[in-house]
Structure 1
């Protein structure tokens, strides 16, 4: 193949696209305002506790009480799981860029659950065998399983609400059944 001006331009464009530094992007107050101070995946209300490190005041104020939810990793793990993070819709590891159109505000649990997958069908929760703890009724829900359930069914089955207006969680269809995707449904969480 002969080198043409068009091919050289395309090669240069490709080089410029992939030479960009793809590091972490900090959450800005303008990002939080744009998404209504909610995780854009699960609808987690980002209250003052989650924003104190950024010196930003949440319109939701302070969380009334610590919540517990056996099927929502945000409430059962470390407080850091509720901190806001910037997620690259097209992952950095797959050459996604830092352009604002490629960024979303996700709580840390959803960001870690998403990992570097593009679709829920690629996640470990969809393609792999369940972990031993997922098969026992005493196991807690892994972040990637929570993320995958909300990604495949992002609306409460009872109210029709999405993450733009409420916090979402998951519920077991069969309470005595295993913690696997086919035994989970998406529901609205109660309160903030």
Structure 2
């Protein structure tokens, strides 16, 4: 089987299982079963579960960046693009597989014991903040607004996961509009 297909199957299965059950609750055998890839091949590609977790997070980081960028490109008006971040969250929170932010969840599970996982989560959140800083600057608002919006967005992610409701995206969007208007 093509090595890229094998790797994709492993990462797909691991991402689904980690998302549904958490990283610590999923063993390598479950990933083998979910992917249809032999345990020997799994360990050839990922000698440890930590390496697999890191690969899943790195791939997820790129997917989120690409999705968010494409989503925001549909907004012509700069201030609406800022609020579009929260529209993106709303669409994400409505997905059947939404269980919260992979980076927040994985950092909560492993961030204290796996520095590489912590670094990947921090890098992802820094990239999200950089995206917010870009859209805020393009809307002619002060840079510190982006930091405030990042707190709103991350809080909405955690709250939506806990409550199982997409409502926090709208609530955070409403609060973001107030901050955006006040920052003129």
The structure that is helix-richer by fraction is 2
The structure with the largest alpha-carbon Rg is 1
Q: Normalized against structure 1, the TM-score is what?
A: 0.27
Q: Normalized against structure 2, the TM-score is what?
A: 0.27
The structure that is strand-richer by fraction is 1
